[in-house]
Homo-oligomer: A and B are copies of this chain.
Amino acid sequence: MLVTCVAYQNGRKLAEIPVADISEYLQRSGCFVWVAMFEPSPDELDQMAAEFGLHELAVEDARKGHQRPKIEEYGDSLFAVLHPAEMVKSTGGADELRIGEVAVFVGPNYVLTVRQRTQMGFSAVRARTEREPDLLKHGSGFVFYALIDNVVDRYFPVLDELETRLEAAEEQMFSSGSSRSRIEDLYELKRMLMSLKHVVSPLMEAVGKLYGGRVPQLCQGTQDYFRDVYDHLARINGTIESIREMLTTAIQVNLALIGISDSEVTKRLAAWGALITIPTLIAGIYGMNFKNMPELEWQHGYPLALGIMFVIDLLLFWRFRRARWI
The digit string for A7-51, where 1 denotes a CB below 8 A from any CB of B, is 000000000000000000000000000000000000000000000
Residues facing B in A125-162 (CB within 8 A) are: none
The digit string for A259-271, where 1 denotes a CB below 8 A from any CB of B, is 1101111110111
Q: Is the pair A276, B281 in contact by a Cβ cutoff of 8 Å?
A: yes
CB of A26 to closest CB in B, whole Å: 23
A119 beta carbon closer than 8 Å to chain B: no
Q: How far is the CA of A246 from the CA of B191 in the complex (A)?
A: 7
A4 beta carbon closer than 8 Å to chain B: no
Q: How far is the CA of A29 from the CA of B122 in the complex (A)?
A: 49
Q: Which residue of B lies closest to A283 (CB)?
A: B284
Q: Is the pair B284, A289 in contact by a Cβ cutoff of 8 Å?
A: no
Q: Which residue of B lies closest to A231 (CB)?
A: B70
Q: How far is the CA of A272 from the CA of B250 in the complex (A)?
A: 32
Q: Is the pair A274, B269 in contact by a Cβ cutoff of 8 Å?
A: yes
Interface window among A85-93, A94-102, A105-113, A295-303: A295-303
Q: Is the pair A276, B277 in contact by a Cβ cutoff of 8 Å?
A: yes
Neighbour of A301 across the interface among B183, B291, B309, CB < 8 A = B291
A321 beta carbon closer than 8 Å to chain B: no
A280 beta carbon closer than 8 Å to chain B: yes
Q: Is the pair B246, A255 in contact by a Cβ cutoff of 8 Å?
A: no
Neighbour of A297 across the interface among B228, B291, B309, CB < 8 A = B291
CB of A167 to closest CB in B, whole Å: 10
Residues facing B in A194-229 (CB within 8 A) are: 194-195, 197-198, 202, 224-225, 227-228
How many copies the complex holds: the figure is 5
A266 contact set on B, CB distance < 8 A: 262-263, 266-267, 270
Interface residues on A, range: 35 or more
Q: How far is the CA of A249 from the CA of B198 in the complex (A)?
A: 17
CB of A113 to closest CB in B, whole Å: 20
A251 beta carbon closer than 8 Å to chain B: yes
Q: Is the pair A180, B293 in contact by a Cβ cutoff of 8 Å?
A: no
A63 contact set on B, CB distance < 8 A: none
The digit string for A279-291, where 1 denotes a CB below 8 A from any CB of B, is 1110111111111
Chain A: residues with CB nearer than 8 A to chain B? 55, 57, 61, 67-68, 70, 72, 74, 170, 174, 180, 183-184, 187, 190-191, 194-195, 197-198, 202, 224-225, 227-228, 231, 234-235, 238-239, 242, 245-246, 248-253, 255-260, 262-267, 269-274, 276-281, 283-293, 295-302, 305-306, 309, 323, 325
- In the complex, 17 of the A-B residue pairs with CB atoms within 8 angstroms, ordered by the A residue number, are A68-B234, A174-B184, A174-B187, A180-B260, A183-B253, A190-B246, A194-B246, A256-B258, A258-B260, A269-B271, A279-B285, A280-B284, A283-B287, A289-B289, A290-B305, A291-B297, A291-B298
Contacts beyond the supplied A70-B231, A292-B301: 15 A-B pairs with Cβ under 8 Å? A68-B231, A68-B235, A72-B227, A72-B231, A195-B242, A248-B249, A256-B258, A259-B263, A265-B323, A266-B267, A276-B278, A277-B280, A279-B285, A280-B284, A288-B296
